[in-house]
């Protein structure tokens, strides 16, 4: 499934390739997030043309709406949304903990109320595997317990132990029940343990012993300071097998991605490109640009002179600002398109730098430019 292609000489950054039945993914990769099975505001063809090789979708949201009956009848998620490339789905754990109402957790699973209609549901780790089998996603996650930051050591340990038990049950269940629209699915183990180094180590060790097809680093970027995130990535990534992909869930901003790549992380996802795009903020090589600000009224330059996306090649900052001020849909689309392209392009450049053994130099140059001008 995963092939390590090149280990960078001066850092732990690495190049790899993930092969799935829907295509290959070059790593380090960024996965645009389609919460409701759509990358908000963008045509799938434009997401593909921007260089996306995989997208992420959320099991929790799809389970609630449109519901599994619809997706099963459509023949799986790829067919339902007309995306024939790889899809990764999360377990829904994070959304159950952050969105659902009245959660009740036990070793059996999680009972919760839908945030949409208040309807009660119970899902076991086995149910989560079955749902993702029917979705037919290429890479799937086991149910895990996420904790908030800060959280006590006791809480973190209970959640970690439950995550390990659920991972064990998920793996067993998947092995016993193959099938679904796409039979070949890769199940990752999720390393939890909050900010406690020894818990992270213990969790990683147990999961590695179970031999998953990849490993996720969960419970990071949940409000803790950056240096804690980097320490946890350091600790966790170094314990994971070299020949398996490593995925830092929910990371992040360009600077976080670079720090994680340096520590040997291969996969990333985050909603920020489209969320910021919809709110009028663009990520550029010179930092974040808030397009509605007054300096851009008569700025006829490209949004980012170093970017080759459709938005930057075609339109001026002044026009983009006008679209936002007039509350035109096109503004949201054009900024989201640029942001998604910007993140995917960053990954392309990262891969190029790793190949040439100059990742650290690239990282320093990028960050120097990125933080050089405060364009807000
Ligand atoms: Zn652009």
Which tens digits make up the pLDDT trace of 301-313? 999 999 999 999 9
Average pLDDT over residues 66-76: 98
- Which pLDDT score is estimated for 227? 92
| Ligand 1 mean position, distance from CA 304 (Å) | 6
| Ligand 1 mean position, distance from CA 248 (Å) | 25
pLDDT confidence of 371, banded at 50, 70, 90? very high
**DSSP secondary-structure letter at 294?**
G
- Which pLDDT score is estimated for 26? 98
The answer to whether residue 269 is catalytic is yes
From 90, 130, 144, 304, the catalytic residue: 90
- Which pLDDT score is estimated for 231? 93
Residues 129, 89: Cα–Cα separation, whole Å: 11
**What angle, rounded to 10 degrees, do the helices at 254-262 and 359-370 form?**
160
Decide: 170 and 142 in contact? Cβ < 8 Å: yes
H or E segment to which residue 309 belongs: none
Identify the sign of the CA torsion 335, 340, 341, 342.
positive
Identify the sign of the CA torsion 256, 257, 258, 261.
positive
Identify the sign of the CA torsion 335, 339, 344, 349.
positive
- Looking at the predicted structure, is the pLDDT value of residue 190 above 60? yes
pLDDT confidence of 181, banded at 50, 70, 90? low
Average pLDDT over residues 56-63: 96
Cα-flanking dihedrals φ and ψ of residue 311, to 5°? Answer: -60, -50
Terminal CA-CA length for the chain: 43
Here the tokens at position 101 are 């109402």
Which tens digits make up the pLDDT trace of 117-175? 999 999 999 999 999 999 999 999 999 998 889 999 999 999 999 999 999 999 999 99
The answer to whether residue 107 is catalytic is no
| Ligand 1 mean position, distance from CA 330 (Å) | 14
| Ligand 1 mean position, distance from CA 280 (Å) | 14
| Ligand 1 mean position, distance from CA 158 (Å) | 45
pLDDT confidence of 233, banded at 50, 70, 90? very high
CA atoms within 13 A of residue 214's CA, in its CB half-sphere:
31
pLDDT confidence of 47, banded at 50, 70, 90? very high
Whether the bond between 66 and the residue before it is cis, its omega within 30 degrees of 0, is yes
- Which pLDDT score is estimated for 375? 52
| Ligand 1 mean position, distance from CA 303 (Å) | 7
Question: What domains are defined for the chain?
Answer: 2-270 (3.20.20.105), 277-370 (no CATH)
Nearest to 81 by CA among 188, 181, 213, 184: 181
- Which pLDDT score is estimated for 97? 82
From 46, 138, 269, 304, the catalytic residue: 269
Which tens digits make up the pLDDT trace of 311-351? 999 999 999 999 999 999 999 999 999 999 999 999 999 99
- Looking at the predicted structure, is the pLDDT value of residue 179 above 80? no
Cα-flanking dihedrals φ and ψ of residue 125, to 5°? Answer: -55, -35
Average pLDDT, the chain: 95
Decide: 257 and 346 in contact? Cβ < 8 Å: yes
| Ligand 1 mean position, distance from CA 344 (Å) | 11
């Amino acid at each position: 499934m995963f092939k390590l292609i090149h280990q960078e000489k001066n850092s732990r950054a690495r190049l790899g390739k993930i092969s799935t039945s829907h295509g290959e993914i070059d790593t380090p990769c960024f996965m645009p997030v389609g919460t409701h099975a759509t990358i908000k505001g963008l045509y799938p063809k434009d997401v593909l043309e921007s260089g996306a090789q995989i997208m992420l979708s959320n099991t929790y949201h799809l389970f609630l709406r449109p519901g599994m009956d619809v997706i099963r009848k459509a023949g799986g998620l790829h067919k339902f949304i007309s995306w024939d490339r790889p899809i990764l789905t999360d377990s829904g754990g994070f959304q159950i903990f952050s969105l659902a109402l009245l959660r009740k957790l036990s070793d059996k699973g999680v009972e919760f109320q839908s945030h949409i209609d208040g309807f009660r549901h119970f899902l076991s780790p086995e149910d989560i595997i079955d749902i993702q089998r029917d979705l037919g996603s290429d890479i799937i996650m086991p149910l895990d317990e996420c904790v908030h930051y800060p959280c006590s050591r006791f809480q973190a340990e209970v959640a970690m132990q439950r995550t390990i038990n659920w991972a064990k049950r998920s793996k067993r269940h998947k092995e016993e029940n193959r099938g679904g629209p796409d039979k070949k699915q890769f199940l990752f183990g999720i390393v939890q343990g909050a900010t406690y180094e020894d818990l992270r180590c213990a969790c990683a060790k147990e999961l590695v012993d179970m031999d998953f097809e990849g490993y996720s680093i969960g419970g990071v970027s949940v409000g803790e300071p950056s240096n804690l995130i980097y320490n946890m990535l350091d600790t966790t990534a170094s314990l994971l097998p070299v020949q398996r992909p490593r995925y830092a869930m929910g990371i992040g901003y360009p600077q976080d991605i670079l720090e994680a790549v340096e520590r040997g992380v291969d996969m990333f996802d985050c909603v920020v490109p489209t969320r910021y795009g919809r709110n009028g903020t663009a990520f550029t090589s010179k930092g974040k640009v808030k397009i509605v600000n007054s300096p851009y009224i008569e700025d006829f330059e490209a949004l980012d002179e170093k970017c080759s996306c459709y938005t930057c090649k075609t339109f001026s900052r002044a026009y983009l600002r006008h679209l936002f001020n007039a509350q035109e849909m096109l503004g949201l689309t054009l900024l989201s398109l640029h942001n998604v392209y910007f993140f995917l392009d960053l990954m392309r450049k990262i891969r190029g730098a790793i190949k040439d053994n100059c990742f650290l130099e690239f990282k320093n140059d990028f960050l120097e430019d990125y933080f050089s001008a405060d364009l807000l």
